[in-house]
Amino acid sequence: MQYLFYLFAAISVISALFVVAARSPVNSVIALIVCFLSIAGHYILLNAQFLAAVHIIVYTGAIMVLFLFVIMLLNLNKQVEPRKSVVTRIAAVAAGGLFLLTLLGAVKDGIGLARPDEYDMAVGLVASVGNSLFTTFLVPFEISSVLFLSAIIGAVTLGKRDKADVNPVAP
Amino acid sequence: MNEVITAIRAVPLEHYVVLSLILFSIGMAGVLFRRNTIILLMCIELMFNSVNLLLTAFSAHHGDPGGQVFVFFIMLVAAAEVTVGLAILVMMKRNVDSIDINQINRLRG
Amino acid sequence: MTRDILAALVPALPLAGALVNAAFRRSLKGNTAGLLATLMVAGSFVCGVLLFMGQEVVGAMHDVNMHQQDAHEGPAHVVKLFDWISVGGMDIPFAFRIDALSLTMVLIVTGIGSLIHLYSIGYMHDDERVATFFAQLNLFTFAMLLLVMGANFVITFIGWEGVGLCSYLLIGFWYKNPAYNYAARKAFVMNRIGDLGFVLALAWIFSVLGTLDYGEVMARASSIDTATVTGITLLLFVGAVGKSAQLPLFTWLPDAMAGPTPVSALIHAATMVTAGIFLLTRSSALFMFAPFTQDVVLYTGLVTSLLTASIGVFQNDIKKVLAYSTVSQLGLMFVALGAGAYSVAMFHVTTHAFFKALLFLGAGSVIHALGGEQDIRKMGGLKGTVKVTYVTFLIGTLAIAGIPGLSGFFSKDAILAAAYQEHPAIWVVSLLISLLTCFYMFRLLFLVFFGTYRGKAHPHESPLVMTLPLMVLAVLSIGGGLLNVPHIFGGHEAMKHYLSTAADGIRNERPELSATTEWTLMIITVALILLVILFAWNRFGKKATIDPEADELPFFQRLMARKWLIDELYAKLFERPYAWLSTQLDRTGERAVMVPLMMGPGGAANKAGQLLRRLQSGNTGFYLFGMVVGLIALLAWTLYNA
């Protein structure tokens, strides 16, 4: 079991690095998709079946495709973006590293585990998630539909072209 | 059913914490690293995912379904956020004709 | 009760007039504003008359119980409006004191005031700020009424300051001329110097007696030791010197002629300048016990009077002659006060108010007739053109010269008699002053009205609204003497007896001279006056001799024409060092210390802001970086503490 974990972990980290380091945006997107798939693998290892499925459908299937569409729309594949200065890059890596160290320091003292008696066996199964969603978390569930509505409206409004689009004035 | 629990608990929680932290840091470094706005958004997605992973790991280890529901909602919000974010990006491209994040500096004080 | 209401109305009406005129100054036309103001003051006059008549009854009732009352406390009615200052041991109510002295002044101020308000309707008709003028004039009347009606020194002081302020406002009424503003400032500053003396005196009185109420001060005046009371009275006199334009604080009054003529008539002839004499009479209880101060008062008045009379001989501006004449007459009043003849001084205040206001208004009428000309060298022969003005001006001149029968004769003669009682030499000097007065006044009369017209304008008589007050004042100037006819003429000295109920000093005035002495003095005076008039007629009436310019005069006369160089002396002694000091302080204190101190923090904040501005680069990447750094710092700190 551990081997699977380490395998998936390695794939995640390497593909994440690739996302950050790739030149072409499309390559970044592909790498990110691989990362997502590996994380889905992690979910399955944790017996979170529902989440794994939703993860692949929503993230890999919808969001990444959306990214690809936008890249295609904006014709970005051919661009080579200017690099940031060396100092900034080193600072970025350092910041990330520091962050990692700080948080590792936070968790170094170990984390408690629940006792087996309180364990809900069905956790991760679709029925269990569904049950929780429609009873305890009903209100957020309904409100999220409103959230989507606003997101749709926002996206459509932002995407519209004005008649006077000659002058680039921030809206 | 204890086999499932044992199986799940074969991998100690700390491993998941460390993995999640690594992914998060990589995502954060990427945000600071890159100037392409699309890559920026993707790194943010990466950060989201690391958090999702952590939440799921905790939920599975402690047997609390609330964690996974929370992940579900995070995914919802991430989807909405990506939608709007990409719309903004398209706007940006239209206005300043570049997706370099440093080109949006009209708020300089 | 009605007495209280009447007493409150007296100052309240002009105040209301002032407020209304000030609030609607942009929309009120000249006639409306003037009518309102005049009616208010006339209303106060009516209230004053009612109070006066009511008091007679009270006085009569009190006469019966007079011997039972405390000898120092005359019949006075105190109207308390409200408790004003009541802290610690100090209790100063906002109250009015209705007694003979205050009523006399109220009648003078409101009576002559309403006549002058009426006159101003015509005089200020074409001015663009008429309503403001009337508002300020009403405000002045209000302040003056507070001054005379106050029941304690503090209320009087409020009025004192108020009239000083209104004097400043009205002198500088035509503010677009910087010379007028300078004159107004000069008046105010000199007033202020006097006010300092007044305030110090108040503080001293309070610290010694613990009260500032007139009644109580008068009752306990005898209990103060001589040195203290001398100091207090000297300080009070300093205040009077500032307000009544005596040496050394008199130069503001001739300069104050920059204001409109009704202002000169009201403030600088009839009312404000008499505030000093009023104050001294009010405090006569204190002055009685300070013979040294009385000497100071007398000699100051004498020197001032002589000095300014000599200056008046050579002035060529019609208003300046009258101004110097006013200072001179005020000096004579102070001579009377110094001699202890308080009722005589108040009598002369009354008659002087009549004929000096008349003379000023007449001068204003002449100026108005000639379209603004004030130089008497460019006048002449006006007696046929401005008949009413001429006749009234003649009456005023006769009165001030002391021609027997008119009011001025009685009051001036009383002053001369008091001077003689003090010392015959003082009588001689006072007589000389009276002769000088007669001389320059008749010079003025002859040069303005006799001979041929030397100017270029088209003179016309003033409208009725201006000549009516002239006529009323002329009647008063003739008949005013009846107020206080002395015994040698068979009179009862009514005013003296009336005022003695209010002021201790009057009750203790000297006994009269013998009849023969008085007649002798009087005949000598009148004879000399007639000789002077003849001389003036010869020099100015028949041939209108214009005196040469100052430089061509012989030495002594040149000094007089140059106003004894007092203005120049003040400029050198005070104005220039003060200006120098101001410049020095500006350079060292202000520029070097204060400005950096105040602008420093601002400038520093500005620089800090400039530095911090760089953080706002607009660079989103930089913002993200900042966010992360902050987050790391926060987490590290939390970890460190946990």
How far apart, in Å, are the Cα atoms of A109 and each of A103, A104, A112, B60, C426?
11, 9, 10, 21, 113
Length of chain A: 171
Burial bucket for residue C35 (CB in 10 Å: 0-12, 13-18, 19+): middle
Of C55 and C408, more confident: C408
- Average pLDDT for residues C569-598, to the nearest whole number? 84
**Could you write out the DSSP letters of every residue in C406-473?**
SHHHHHHHHHHHHHHHH-HHHHHHHHHHHHHHHHHHHHHHHHHHSS---SSS---PPPHHHHHHHHHH
Which chain B residue shows the shortest CA-CA distance from A88? B33
State pLDDT tens for residues C99-151.
888 888 899 999 999 999 999 988 888 888 888 899 999 999 999 999 999 88
Interface test with C, best of B24, B26, B31 (most C CBs within 10 A): B31
DSSP for chain A, please give it. Answer: -HHHHHHHHHHHHHHHHHHHH-SSHHHHHHHHHHHHHHHHHHHHHTT-HHHHHHHIIIIIIIIHHHHHHHHHHHT-TT--PPPPPHHHHHHHHHHHHHHHHHHHHHHTT------GGG--TTTTSHHHHHHHHHHTTHHHHHHHHHHHHHHHHHHHHHHPPPS--SS----
Share of chain C above pLDDT 90, in %: 19
Tokens of C242: 């500032």
Domains, chain B, ranges and CATH?
A: 2-103 (1.10.287.3510)
Distance from CA of A131 to the nearest CA of C (A): 36
Find the helix or strand (DSSP H, E) in which C303 lies: helix C291-312
Predicted confidence (pLDDT) at residue C555 exceeds the cutoff of 80: no
The angle formed by the CA atoms of residues C369, C269 and C304, to the nearest 5 degrees, is 120
CA-closest candidate to residue C452, choices C542, C318, C548, C322: C542
Q: Note the pLDDT of residue C67.
A: 35
Q: How many CB atoms lie within 10 A of CB C299?
A: 15
The 10 Å CB-count burial string (b at 16+, else e) for A47-69 is bbbbbbebbbebbbeebbeebbe
Min Cα separation B41/chain C (Å): 13
Residues C216 and C317: their CA atoms lie apart, in Å, by 47
* Side-chain half-sphere CA neighbours of C234 within 13 A: 11
CB C355 within 8 A of CB C399: yes
Measured between beta carbons, which residues in chain B are less than 8 angstroms from residue A154? 83-84, 87
Chain A residues whose CB is inside 8 A of the C636 CB are 102
| Token reading at C568 | 């120049």
- Chains touching B by CB (3 or more pairs below 8 Å): A, C
Provide the pLDDT for residue C384. 80
Global ipTM: 0.88
Collect all residues of chain C within an 8 Å Cβ-Cβ radius of residue A88: 621, 625
Higher per-residue confidence, B40 vs B109: B40
| Cα–Cα nearest to C189, from C214, C164, C208, C207 | C164
> Per the structure block, which two tokens stand in for C532?
């002077």
Cite the beta strand spans of C62-127 per DSSP E: 77-87, 90-98
Give the pLDDT confidence of B58-97 residue by residue, as tens digits.
888 877 888 889 999 999 999 999 999 999 988 888 888 8
When the pLDDT of each residue in chain C is averaged and rounded to a whole number, the result is 84
Helix axes C275-282 and C130-149, enclosed angle (nearest 10): 20
* A window 113-142, beta carbon within 8 A of B: 113-114, 116, 118-124, 128-129, 131-133, 136-137, 140
Contacts of B47 in chain A (CB under 8 A): none
Determine the pLDDT at residue A160: 81
| Residues of chain A contacting residue C628, judged by C-beta atoms under 8 Å apart | 95-96, 99
pLDDT digits (tens, 9 = 90+) for C383-436: 888 888 888 999 999 999 888 888 888 888 888 888 888 888 888 999 999 999
